[in-house]
Structure 1
């Protein structure tokens, strides 16, 4: 191993050495504690410390790093208190997740670190967003994100690098090439000889370095970071290294040939660097002993504090309260009486435009939303008004873009992501349900994001442009879901969602875009989240619905002059208005729940169950549901109309009234 100190002072060399010793000594202690059954699990980074340490010390302390399991050196090099780290690993309240998540699955803005989730790859999109925010704010800062060699097979890695390349983001993609993805050797993971070869495919710079040489890592990252701060762009850095322990301790290393283990043991980053510094007269045995005694005392002190803390007391109220970031909505009323006639689609555009005026930190992202104005023209003209920095065309990288929205939030910005069609949200599903939805509950990070979802059938667009998929997300704590049925609510709910620091899915029915219009306030206003709207009043039954179902219910009731019904428009699906539902059940004693989505597992099932549990004594008949068929949505208009529930609603009302 060849070390070249170049112009670096003895102090820098000593700091790098201390940086290596700290995680190594913690690791050695953790392995002892694991054998003593005092900790439950450990992901070892022994043999790879030089990458984490060299990179972290090369960056500014306020530059974000997104590490993974084996990057303890990132956390220790940022001088995080040992007792809080140990408490985090133990799952106690002193940690960073209140006992809700494990090991390095957390973030801390205080130390500018954003940890991973178990799904390899999503951290790259989040890094895109952090780097984008830094670039938009002209901070001249760099972001760094870690990947394992196996994780680079994930689509999230490719999307993250591609977005960074297209947007010239100041982002360093670190790949720790340790030869194995858990037990699968590199030859069964990829065919490239070097990850540096991948750079040309993305049109970016890429270098390959000795990841066990802390001086080479430090010098390379220092040089690249200085360049990227002046000329923002992404760079891919492959760090050749080896993992001397198992993927985690229980898995062992029997799958690794002994010859390979022996070869890499001779390349130990700490032993070789220590030997070099002694030979150069930078440190001596007294320095080494003094440093190790100091770190040992810090470890023991931190462990004593952490082990004295008990597991968290289970507090249901606190667990539920932390699912969302605090937000007390104050409903905004229009400042004047001025009103204009707006189609449904115009109301959405109006609310989005006025929110852009109101929040100068709001960034819009989506496919074709810039000059083209989006496939439905909702953002037509936005570029000329707000500029391409805030109205951003995106590559076909839904996962990376949703991840980037969280990255923007981490930097205290707001994001709106437009799915071209709600059907395409599957490409960003993981980011929504595992990053956006859980970020605040896990480590107190809000996700100030609205994902707009053009949804619904009735336009003969077939099974991949017509799905109603709100129920996919209804089951996910941390999300909020709104689904307007009219222009007034379309604008007011969108503005309210963009005010709230929590993640929203905003469903907008495509059939309503140009078929429904109304006179609504011209000024900015909001609608109360979680509050249903009683569209019509009657005494014979209650129709609980939302979106297109509201219009079907109104049309069908108009054809039944001898029957009157409460038509309750939920508007907000998560959280939904239980008080309004209970009130209408008490009033009419008969309930039909109507939605376009398929029957099985639809939102109506949950509402029906809740009514049966909480309002059974008010019912004079079973709660009935009518919904889409339990099939994909067909293309031919005749088949599509048969799929939709509208034609079956009248007979269901008649059935309900017979009880």
Structure 2
């Protein structure tokens, strides 16, 4: 291994050695603790430390790094106390996640490190959002994100790099090519000779280096960052290395040929660099021994201190509360001046006012810029707010939701438009595992709104018509709003954008141009979590939301002899249990109406809650009126039969006759 010290003085070289040695000795201690049964699991990065340490030291302290689970050297090179790290690994209350998540699955704004989730790849899109925020601020920073060679097969890898390339984002995508994804060798993971060749397809620079040579790693990252800070663009960096231990210790290494261990043992980053420093007379063998003894004493003290840290105490209300960033909505009352607006125009008005209210708000979605979006909701926005803040995206829902979280981490707000709510499946993981769990895991907000054009009525068939709110209402950490009227479409959108928590905003496509009503002028907000009573009757209660509200209103209008209470939930998470309970008490009979399919639709949750908490007030079983348990057909005759509305009269009749 050839080391080129260039103009580096002895002090710098020695510091690099200390930073390289420390995580190796921590790892060796962890393996001993594992054998002693004092810890339960460990993902070893032995043999790969030069990548973590060299790259981290080449980054500025205020630049974000997004590592993976073998990158201990990133955390130690940023000088996070070992006691704090050990507390995290042991699930102590003083750890970064308070015992809620494992190993390096956490972030820390203090050290500008954003850890991964277990799903390989999603952190790459977060790097895009972080870098985009820097670009919009005019801040000359780079962002570094790690991935493994196995994760290069994932869609998240492609999406994140493609977005960074199209948007010229200053991100270094660092691939640690260590030969194996768990037990699968690289020959069974990709066909290309070198992963760096993938850069060609994205039109970006690709560089391959010896990941075990700490000076080569440092110099390469240093050169790249100095360049892309001034001329923002992504770079793909492949670091060749080897995993000297199992995927995690329990998996062993029997699947790896011994010849590979012998070959890579000769390339050990620590031993080779240590020999180089001795040869350069930067350090002596005796000084190496003394240094290792000093580090060993420090490690022992820090680790033993962490073992004495307090365990978390079970606190169910606190666990549930911590799913959300602390926020108390201050409702802004509407003005007395109103203008007739279509449902669609109310959404446009809300977005327009939000863009004025929050200069750090960024809109992202397919075709939303000059074209104005599939439904023309953002028409004219680029001329008013620039393409920097109103951004066309490639067709990559996962990357864009992840970029929204990255923007939030770096001080921005984001509104992401799904062109159709159905397409959210392609960004599902980012929503339910990243947006929803970020605050619970490490206390960071996820200030992202996902707009969800939803519902039937246009004969669009199975892939453009789904009501998929129930996919998300059962996911703690998300808020779900679903306005039925233009006034709420504007007020709930502004409330959602104001809220620092992730909000899914369902907007019904069939109402866009068919529904017009008076909408207050100016900025106001509708309370999230508060239902509204639209009629007050004694016969029974209809609890509904979205298009179901209009089905119910039409039914009551066409049947004036029926006297019913009608509740529009408006928000599905959190939902207004107090108003529902009052309606049940008042009438004793309940129909829950929604456009979604019957089985496991959100009505099932409301029905179960009423049965558990309001049983004594009921004069009849709670009845659900929902759409068929089938996919949504395209043909209008079949679509009408599919919809809950076709069975509403029958359900009312059944309830009243009980």
TM-score range, shorter chain: over 0.9
The TM-score, its normalising length taken from structure 2, stands at: 0.99
Question: What residue number does 1:9 align with?
Answer: 9
* Secondary structure of 1:519 counterpart: strand
Structure 1 distance, partners of 2:238, 2:104, is 22
Question: What residue number does 2:96 align with?
Answer: 96
- After superposition, give the CA deviation of every residue in 1:280-323 in whole Å (9 maximum; x if it has no partner): 01111233123222321221121122100232111112111111
* Secondary structure of 1:342 counterpart: strand
Shift of 1:559: 1.9
Question: What residue number does 1:506 align with?
Answer: 505
Structure 1 distance, partners of 2:70, 2:39, is 17
Please state if 1:253 is matched with 2:243.
no
Structure 2 distance, partners of 1:539, 1:423, is 38
| Equivalent residues in 2 for 1:482-521, closer than 5 Å | 482-521=481-520
- After superposition, give the CA deviation of every residue in 1:573-619 in whole Å (9 maximum; x if it has no partner): 00000000000000000000000000000000000000000000000
Question: What residue number does 1:542 align with?
Answer: 541
The TM-score, its normalising length taken from structure 1, stands at: 0.99
Question: What residue number does 2:436 align with?
Answer: 437
Is the CA contact (8 Å cut-off) linking 1:82 and 1:298 kept in structure 2? no
- After superposition, give the CA deviation of every residue in 1:485-535 in whole Å (9 maximum; x if it has no partner): 000000000000000000000000000000001111111100011000101
| Equivalent residues in 2 for 1:461-476, closer than 5 Å | 461-476=460-475
Is the CA contact (8 Å cut-off) linking 2:142 and 2:229 kept in structure 1? yes
Is the CA contact (8 Å cut-off) linking 2:541 and 2:591 kept in structure 1? yes
| Equivalent residues in 2 for 1:309-324, closer than 5 Å | 309-324=309-324
Question: What residue number does 2:120 align with?
Answer: 120
Structure 2 distance, partners of 1:264, 1:368, is 49
5+ residue gaps, structure 2, are none
| Equivalent residues in 2 for 1:161-560, closer than 5 Å | 161-334=161-334, 336-560=335-559
| Equivalent residues in 2 for 1:79-90, closer than 5 Å | 79-90=79-90
User: How many correspondences in the alignment?
Assistant: 658
* Secondary structure of 1:646 counterpart: helix
Structure 2 distance, partners of 1:211, 1:7, is 21
Shift of 1:338: 2.0
* Secondary structure of 1:21 counterpart: helix
Question: What residue number does 1:78 align with?
Answer: 78
5+ residue gaps, structure 1, are none
- After superposition, give the CA deviation of every residue in 1:38-84 in whole Å (9 maximum; x if it has no partner): 00000000000000000000000111000001000000000001111
Q: Which moved more, 1:513-522 or 1:6-15?
A: 6-15
Shift of 1:254: 0.5
Structure 2 distance, partners of 1:294, 1:518, is 74
Question: What residue number does 1:44 align with?
Answer: 44
Structure 2 distance, partners of 1:572, 1:441, is 22
Structure 2 distance, partners of 1:186, 1:93, is 39
Is the CA contact (8 Å cut-off) linking 2:365 and 2:418 kept in structure 1? yes
* Secondary structure of 2:134 counterpart: helix
Structure 2 distance, partners of 1:402, 1:338, is 36
Question: What residue number does 1:152 align with?
Answer: 152
* Secondary structure of 1:462 counterpart: coil
- After superposition, give the CA deviation of every residue in 1:538-586 in whole Å (9 maximum; x if it has no partner): 1100000000000000111112222111110000000000000000000
Structure 2 distance, partners of 1:379, 1:287, is 66
| Equivalent residues in 2 for 1:19-58, closer than 5 Å | 19-58=19-58
Structure 1 distance, partners of 2:301, 2:329, is 45
* Secondary structure of 2:460 counterpart: coil
Is the CA contact (8 Å cut-off) linking 2:421 and 2:468 kept in structure 1? yes
Structure 1 distance, partners of 2:542, 2:225, is 60
* Secondary structure of 1:654 counterpart: helix
Structure 1 distance, partners of 2:249, 2:310, is 25
Structure 2 distance, partners of 1:541, 1:438, is 39
Structure 1 distance, partners of 2:194, 2:353, is 49
Structure 2 distance, partners of 1:298, 1:604, is 58
Is the CA contact (8 Å cut-off) linking 2:371 and 2:379 kept in structure 1? yes
Stretches (4+) displaced over 6 A:
none
Structure 2 distance, partners of 1:393, 1:291, is 54
